[in-house]
């Protein structure tokens, strides 16, 4: 078991384009950004951009209210590129001189998290493996997990929404104003 822990990153480095790369950034206020990338220039299982687009739309499902659902196709923002630098952890980056051979398609979702954690699933029967990773704080290693068809990620905590003092404060001001207006009106009626 200890030996396999050292082999996986090296194997990932050698075959970095044969799986999809999913970068997840957890943001404040219960938000997250998920970017999934496919290399249709080097992945033998993806022949062209159309197949890459289809793979990106169905490779991960997100748990919502206890059920796993595909990511919303309409919410995806699409981009193309040739460089892995911002898409993958450094440990699996292909050699620099090899980057021109890559044809990357990336789908980006900005998620509003209704639940306290995010959980992803690679659908059963999926032929596309997904490397799900999260950037690390300076001096730390990125966290990552490989999801094969049917696998479910661990729960990923979402940063909670900040509680605002404005709604209760506004309610108090409105009630005081209404109370004052009622008293003034009542005095006017009595005089």
Do 133 and 183 belong to one domain?
no
- Asked if pLDDT for residue 62 goes beyond 90, the answer is yes
Dist CA 28 CA 160 (whole Å): 7
Do 143 and 174 belong to one domain?
no
Which tens digits make up the pLDDT trace of 100-133?
A: 677 899 999 999 988 899 999 999 998 899 999 9
Which tens digits make up the pLDDT trace of 129-176?
A: 999 999 888 888 888 899 999 999 999 998 775 666 667 777 777 888
Dist CA 6 CA 130 (whole Å): 19
Which tens digits make up the pLDDT trace of 87-103?
A: 777 776 655 556 567 78
pTM for this predicted structure: 0.73
Do 73 and 145 belong to one domain?
yes
Do 152 and 92 belong to one domain?
yes
Do 111 and 20 belong to one domain?
yes
Out of 11-15, 16-20, 31-35, 36-40, least confident range: 11-15
Out of 12-16, 20-24, 127-131, 162-166, least confident range: 12-16
- Asked if pLDDT for residue 61 goes beyond 80, the answer is yes
Asked whether the beta carbons of 36 and 21 are under 8 A apart, the reply is yes
Dist CA 147 CA 168 (whole Å): 44
User: What is the domain count for the chain?
Assistant: 2
Do 87 and 126 belong to one domain?
yes
Dist CA 38 CA 41 (whole Å): 9
Question: Which range marks the domain in which residue 25 is found?
Answer: 2-160
Tokens of 89: 């952890």
Query: What is the average pLDDT across 170-187?
Result: 81
- Asked if pLDDT for residue 43 goes beyond 90, the answer is no
Three-state SS string over the chain comes to CHHHHHHHHHHHHHCCCCCEEEEEEEECCCEEEEEEEEECCCCCCCCCHHHHHHHHHHCCEEEECCEEEECCHHHCEEEEECCCCCCCCHHHCCCHHHHHHCCEEEEEEEEECCCCEECEECCCCCCCCEEEEECCCCCCCCEEEEECCCCECCCEECCCCCCCCHHHHHHHHHHHHHHHHHHHHHHHHHC
Do 93 and 150 belong to one domain?
yes
Tokens of 90: 């450094």
More confident residue, 18 or 49: 49
Do 152 and 80 belong to one domain?
yes
pLDDT at site 6: 33
Do 152 and 176 belong to one domain?
no
Do 91 and 174 belong to one domain?
no
pLDDT at site 188: 83
Do 89 and 169 belong to one domain?
no
């Amino acid at each position: 078991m200890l030996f396999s822990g050292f082999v996986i990153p090296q194997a990932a480095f050698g075959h970095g384009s044969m799986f999809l790369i999913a970068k997840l950034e957890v943001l404040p206020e219960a938000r997250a950004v998920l970017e999934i990338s496919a290399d249709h220039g080097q992945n033998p299982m993806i022949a062209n951009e159309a197949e890459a687009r289809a793979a990106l739309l169905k490779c991960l499902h997100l748990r919502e209210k206890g059920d796993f659902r595909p990511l919303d196709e309409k919410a995806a923002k699409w981009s193309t590129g040739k460089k892995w630098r911002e898409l993958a952890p450094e440990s699996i980056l292909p050699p620099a001189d090899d980057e021109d051979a890559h044809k990357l398609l990336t789908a980006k979702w900005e998620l509003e998290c209704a639940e306290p954690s995010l959980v992803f699933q690679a659908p059963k029967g999926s032929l596309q493996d997904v490397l799900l990773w999260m950037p690390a704080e300076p001096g730390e290693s990125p966290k990552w997990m490989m999801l094969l068809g049917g696998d479910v990620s661990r729960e990923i905590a979402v940063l909670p929404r900040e509680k605002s003092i404005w709604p209760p404060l506004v309610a108090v001001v409105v009630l005081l104003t209404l109370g004052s207006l009622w008293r003034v009106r009542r005095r006017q009626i009595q005089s």
